[in-house]
Structure formats: C-alpha cells, structure tokens
Amino acid sequence: MNQIIAFLFFIMSLGHAQTFQGRKLQQKLIPGELLVICKSNCIKNIRKGFKARSRSRVKTFFKGKNKYSMIKVKGVSNQEYQNFKNFADSDPGMIIGPNYHYIGDPREAITSSSLAIEQDDPELEKQDHHEIIQTFNAWKNKSFGKAEIIVAVTDDGVSLKHKDLKDAIWFNKKEIPNNGKDDDENGFIDDVNGWDFSDGDNNPDGGSHGTHVAGIIGATINNGIGGAGIAPGVKIMPIRWYGGSKRWTSEMIAESYLYALNNGAQIINTSYNIDGFVNDKIYRDVVKLLKKEGMLVFNSAGNGGKKDPPRAEIEEVVLVAALDSDFEKNKVDTKAYFSNYGEGIDISAPGHPIYSTVLRGGYGDMSGTSMASPAAAGVAALIWSQNPELTNTEVLAKLLKGADNVSAKNPKMKGLLGTGRINVPNSLKSKAKVLEISLFSKKIKKNKSGDFQMKFSLTDIINKSVLESMAYVYITKPAIDAPQTYSRLKVKATYDKKNDYVALNFNKKLEDGNYIIKVPKKYFKYERGDQKRFPDSAKSTKVYEYYVITIQ
C-alpha cells in the first residue's frame, strides 16, 4: 500500500447544469479534492502515507472493524490522480473519485397546502393513498412492520418531536446520549437519532420535506392522533444531508449513505433530483456498494414530466413515478402530470397529493415523486419485516410482482411506469422469484423489433406459473475471474404453446459480447447444448452453475 500513498488527483472542469421545474441544479468540481472509500485497514494505510504531506488534509469517518470509511485529500495533481486510479482499478474494494459541489434545490415536492394542526381524532380518512394501495388489508393481519427494519431518510431533516413521528425515530442503543463521547466508535459523537451532515452535528431535526417523507413511511399507528405511515412499526433513521450551513457535495452525499450502511439501515429513501449525479463517480460507486451490501435505495423518478430522465441510467436505484391519488376529483392511478416516466422507471405509487406529517406537529398535503418514492420504500419495509430472511433482490422482486397494472388508466404509458402501482397485500403474498436463467447460445439472436430474444423449452421445474411469477432476471458481463456485479435488465417472457417454448425478450440496448449467466439448479433443468462450462474455480456455491454465452 505504501507505494501508492503519494498518488491522487486534480481535474479542472465544470459539470453541466440540470434543469428541474425551473430550478437549476449545477454541478461544480472542487479542484484538487479526492475522496477515497474502503474498509478500515485500507484507510489506515492511505491516511498514514498522506500524513507527511502538509498540503493534504485527511478526513476520516466510520471507525470500526469491517466498517466502510472515507478520507478526503486536498491539493492533488492530475498525474497523482492517474497513478492512484491505476492502482485502485486493481482493488475492487476501493472507491475513488472527485468531489463536486451541487448548487440548487433538488427536493422533488412541488406543492404544499392544506396544513392542519393535529387533533385528537385520527386523520386516516384524509390519507387516500392507504385505500388506493390497500394498506388497511395488510394491517388487518397485523403487518405493521418491525422495529428491526430501519429506513434511512436522506433529506432536509425530520421533525424529531412530532407526536406522530417521535416514537418511530431510530434510537442508537450503542450511544449514551449527551456525554460528549463516541461510545460506539462509529466516528460520530452522541449520534443518538442519526446525523446532520449539512451542519456537522448530531441534530438532524427539522425539514418540511423530510418530515413529510418520513411520515409516509412510518408515522405511528393506533396512538389516537394524526394518521399513519405505510409501515408504522419500522424505524426511521433521519439523515440531514441538505439545507444546512455546509455546501452540498459528493463528500456529504457519500457520508450520508455510508452512515446508513454502517449503522444498520436496510433501506434508504432519497426523494431528490439525482440527474446531476449520473457522471459523479463517487455517487455511482457508492450506490453500487450499497446494493452489493444488501441494501435497497429508493429515489423519486423526477418531476420534469420527461421520458427517460438521466437518472434512469442508474440501475442500482429503484426509481418511483407518481400517480394521481385524488378521490374527490376522480383522479386515481393516472400518471401525475409532473412525473417523469420511461423504460428506466421501476414502479409507480400515489404522489398527487399525499397527506402526511409536516412541521409544527401538523399534517398536510404535498405532491411530487418525492411522495411516491417513500410510499414504495414503505411497502418494501413491510415485505422485509414479514420476510427477514430475504435478500434485497428478493424483496424488490416481491414489490415489483405485487404491483397493480395501471395501463388501462394510462394507455399511452404502457411499459413506461414500471411494473405498475404499488399494492401492499399483493406484494406481501407475492411468490415472485429471482431467477437467473441459462439459455442456448445458438438461439440468442435479434428479433424483428431489434430486441435480443432467447428461447428455451419448459420443464417440470421451470414451468409457465414460475415464469409468470418472475419479476426480472439477472445477467452479468464481468471477466471470468473478476468479482461478479449484476445489472437488472427488463425482460418480457412470452410462451409459445404450439411449439412449447418460452422466449425472453431483452432490451435492444444490450451490448455485444460475452455474458455470464448464473443458474440456480433447483429451478432449472436444461440441455447442455454447445454452452461452455465455467472452470470449477469460478463457482461461488454448489447450488449454482455458470455458463458463458455470446450475444452478437
């Protein structure tokens, strides 16, 4: 490690401006600043090497064994960066990238109205979204969510003393309040209820946007006041990353996500404009890390009314579009006029309007994909509460499979609003499986539409009902000896009864080249054909077999 200690970088460039509802989100490079993320032993070596350099100031976070840490180094040249990058490319456990400053208001709520101070009577009847997504039917079975499931809300803060939120706020049991010490050695002093990265203190309180978002997820039920969140039994981890005295940077965004990861959150909700993050290496690599570590990250699809927003490129994030949710105006399940849409959208949820918690102990309406995203995150939290053994991909599969088809209400948006609108009981009982399918290389070719089509025969194990329960499949494209990273691809399965085969149609954006297909043996019987076997050393578990196929 000592050989690479003197490397790092400096790139002089200006990011492009992002436009959102008339508000600009600008990305500006901070010259000479580099962020490095890896586990503790790696950070210690890098930090030690930079200590002797007076012009390089190092900042370390997240102490502790097997935790992820980050350092910031200043005064780095182009050549130093290139040298360090060459080394880091050989270490899949290391993330490096420039630090950007973001300017503008990225919160994706577009209206706020009808504020009301709480009364003793419940406000549930005003929360139309519960009826739309059938939350009440799930609650009948006591599916309120469990406190072990932690949902981090990266936002402008959460009202910690709101009567309908105070009991839902995450409490760090390893930290002794107000003793001025970092009791759990996670790098943060007295972080009892999360952290405020935008001001650099332990008080993530406040924020009209974040308070509304948090209430959609987990406002308390059966307490005689207000309404309720979709998953009122789970815990909300407030992370204030925007709106304080500090400028909003790649560093702050990475800190926030790593804090959630290192402190036990399984789900993150970010209702912010992330279009400008598409070319931010730190952000892109951090969300990949979160997915690898088993987390789910939900994000608003955006309020620009545009097809295929730039953020659709970020496959590790679950993008949620907004639908109308106004019974009085007879507008339910149609796409909200402001919502983005497209092939990169994963699912939709009510978002115009949503009645939830606001500042000063009240309730009120807000609209936006900002409101749709936490609704989907809340359903995922319920699924994980009921099925704690599931992986993040399996939870997502159940969420997507359980969605209601809204094509009839949106005939021009077929396939552009994800798998449909969230449905709580459907997703909870969904039998969706995450299958990774092996296919015959000679039968992989483009169809008349230009999509890649793969055909295979049904067996007694892989049958029509199993295919219908399949939310999506995984396909990989790493080198044989490289760590496996997965990209989710949209797949349409069709069954040809006459010829008894199934065709999977992949998006035409699939690149040419060799792909690795991972096959669960318990789901699939298949012919060997001309497929090439992986060497035994490439197998990670006995229940899977690996094959290489060529797409051209």
Helix axes 392-401, 369-386, angle to 10 degrees: 120
Q: How many CB atoms lie within 10 A of CB 530?
A: 9
Catalytic residue check, 209:
yes
Q: Taking Cα atoms as reference points, which of 472, 551, 462 lies closest to residue 515?
A: 551
- Which stretches within 11-154 are classed as H helix? 40-50, 78-88, 128-132, 135-139
Q: How many CB atoms lie within 10 A of CB 126?
A: 16
Dihedral Cα 441, 445, 451, 454, nearest 10 deg:
-40
Q: Taking Cα atoms as reference points, which of 187, 542, 184, 129 lies closest to residue 374?
A: 129
Q: Taking Cα atoms as reference points, which of 221, 215, 224 lies closest to residue 136?
A: 221
Among 209, 275, 285, 438, the active-site one is 209
262-293 in b/e form (b: 16+ CB < 10 A) is bbebbbbbbbbbbbbbbebbbbbbbbbbbbee
Query: Is 224 buried (19+), middle (13-18) or exposed (0-12) by CB count in 10 A?
Result: exposed
Q: Which two tokens stand for residue 371?
A: 């409101």
Among 143, 159, 271, 370, the active-site one is 370
Q: Is the separation of the CB atoms in 147 and 234 below 8 Å?
A: yes
- Measured distance CA(261)–CA(241) in Å, rounded: 15
Q: How many CB atoms lie within 10 A of CB 405?
A: 14
Catalytic residue check, 370:
yes
Q: Taking Cα atoms as reference points, which of 522, 456, 521 lies closest to residue 491?
A: 456
* E strand map for 89-231: 95-103, 111-117, 150-155, 195-196
Q: Taking Cα atoms as reference points, which of 217, 358, 226, 204 lies closest to residue 298?
A: 217
Query: What 8-state DSSP symbol labels residue 272?
Result: B
How many Å is the maximal CA-CA distance in the chain?
75
Cα-Cα end-to-end distance for the chain: 41
- Measured distance CA(249)–CA(253) in Å, rounded: 6
Catalytic residue check, 155:
yes
Query: Is 114 buried (19+), middle (13-18) or exposed (0-12) by CB count in 10 A?
Result: middle
Q: Which helix (H) or strand (E) holds 428?
A: helix 424-429
Query: Is 371 buried (19+), middle (13-18) or exposed (0-12) by CB count in 10 A?
Result: buried
Among 69, 129, 143, 155, the active-site one is 155
Residue 237's SS3 state is strand
Tell me the catalytic residues. 155, 209, 370
